Amino acid sequence: MRQHSFVIEAESEEGIAHVLSWLASELKMETKGNPDIIISRHKLFSVEDARTVTQHASQKAFSGENRAIIITAHRVYHQAQNALLKLFEEPSPGTHLFLILPTLGGLLPTLRSRVQVLHIKNNDSLIPHESKYGPTRSIFPDADLFLKGGREKRNAIIKSLTNGKDEESRHKKREEAIALINGMESIGYQIFSKKRSNNLTAFLTDLVTLRGFLYERSASLKMILSHLSIVIPKELL
């Protein structure tokens, strides 16, 4: 891997373990107690967090030639991704950047274009994302089904995501809905890279806006998903 900026689709600790293994085997870095390896864990990664990472990245290595900054997050605000663009495009010499996310759905195309996206293969090696799965649609079967399943199938999915009987169940359903939208966004950007249209642009913009609403408990999950079900552009059917 020649590039120095990476995004890895994995759960936090699993991703960290694989990055440390890669640093040890490929860069011959000592991974225990090494001040040149910075691990930063977050639930929501903010603009302020991005500034802190940028500050760390500007520092020189304590020993040797290489430094590594590993960031894990459940969600990265779009403003924070924009704040990382310059850093991820041109990290300082010897600095390797790793952003670990549970799903690539919320990754902005501007940031995606500046990194190499990796996934953990069955043999525990890190590989380019598409070499394992092929087309992005196959990675997100629920999102693909929602997009291609027709009105009846979409209504069934919406019903299953809005029938929570208690607070815990409703929270879980909302998280599933967010994952569904993340999957639709990834599929949408894959198609957009090959076939651009005003309808597809509008749909992707809608996804960003409506996903933001889903993080507000008062927003109607049913209304949001119902709206999406009727505005899917023909390019995604």
CATH of the domain at 30: 3.40.50.300
The per-residue pLDDT of the chain, averaged, comes to: 85
What's the rounded Cα separation, in Å, for the pair 66 and 21? Answer: 15
Within this chain, do residues 101 and 186 fall inside the same structural domain, yes or no? no
Decide: 81 and 111 in contact? Cβ < 8 Å.
Answer: yes
Per-residue pLDDT, averaged over 58-74, amounts to: 91
- DSSP letter, residue 2: -
Instruction: Select from 99, 117, 133 the last residue of a domain.
Output: 133
Within this chain, do residues 119 and 161 fall inside the same structural domain, yes or no? no
Given a cut of 50, is residue 131 above it in pLDDT? no
Within this chain, do residues 144 and 103 fall inside the same structural domain, yes or no? no
Within this chain, do residues 35 and 58 fall inside the same structural domain, yes or no? yes
Q: Is the pTM of this model over 0.85?
A: no
pLDDT value of residue 13: 93
Within this chain, do residues 17 and 108 fall inside the same structural domain, yes or no? yes
More confident residue, 63 or 132: 63
Instruction: Select from 112, 133, 154 the last residue of a domain.
Output: 133
Within this chain, do residues 47 and 113 fall inside the same structural domain, yes or no? yes
Return the closest-CA partner of residue 204 out of 74, 78, 43: 78
Within this chain, do residues 94 and 163 fall inside the same structural domain, yes or no? no
Within this chain, do residues 102 and 212 fall inside the same structural domain, yes or no? no
Helix (H/G/I), strand (E/B), else coil: 5: strand
Q: What are 63's two structure tokens?
A: 């020993």
Range of the domain at 230: 137-236
pLDDT > 90 fraction of the chain, expressed in percent and rounded = 41
Quote the number of domains for the chain.
2
Within this chain, do residues 81 and 146 fall inside the same structural domain, yes or no? no
Within this chain, do residues 51 and 87 fall inside the same structural domain, yes or no? yes
Given a cut of 70, is residue 116 above it in pLDDT? yes
Decide: 83 and 44 in contact? Cβ < 8 Å.
Answer: no
Given a cut of 80, is residue 184 above it in pLDDT? yes
